Amino acid sequence: MLKTPLENEVTDYYRSVYKSVIDEDLDVLSEVLDEGFVFTKLSGEEQDRETFFEELRSEALNVYSENVERIYVKNEGDTLNVRGRSKINVSIDGSKRRIKKIQLDLVLKKTSEGEDPDTGELRPELTKWRVMSAKAAIY
């Protein structure tokens, strides 16, 4: 199935966010996760951005690898609802590493229009998105 340019962009973005989690790259995550970011864990517990970062720092959440199986994108103007289904190699709260099928529902908000600073021309590849929320579930 052919993907639209937006679906390709979002798939690349989704993978880059996961890579930042795997690498525990809090500098990159600080750029892509909104200050008001909320993460809903598999248990249903909600965490703010700083608590999520603390779980990564303390190794309460360890993501070792991720393999995207499918990305669904619903475009609602300045908001994208993204559902990613991935097999991830993860350890949660000190548990043994295992492969889990995780569905991650993201809400992305557009933070800029992708305007070329030199020409003023709108270019979709320059559009910036921030993750407002993420909700994990098993599929």
- Extents of the domains making up the chain: 5-138
Q: Are the C-beta atoms of residues 130 and 28 closer than 8 Å to each other?
A: no
| Distance between CA atoms of residues 46 and 37, nearest Å | 10
pLDDT at 103 (0 to 100): 98
pLDDT at 127 (0 to 100): 67
Q: Cβ–Cβ contacts within 10 Å for residue 19, how many?
A: 14
pLDDT digits (tens, 9 = 90+) for 43-71: 999 999 999 999 999 989 999 999 999 99
Listed in sequence order, the residues at least 6 apart from 96 whose beta carbon sits closer than 8 Å to its beta carbon are none
Least confident span in 4-8, 19-23, 56-60: 4-8
pLDDT at 114 over 80: no
Domain 5-138 class?
A: alpha beta
pTM: 0.85
pLDDT at 96 (0 to 100): 95
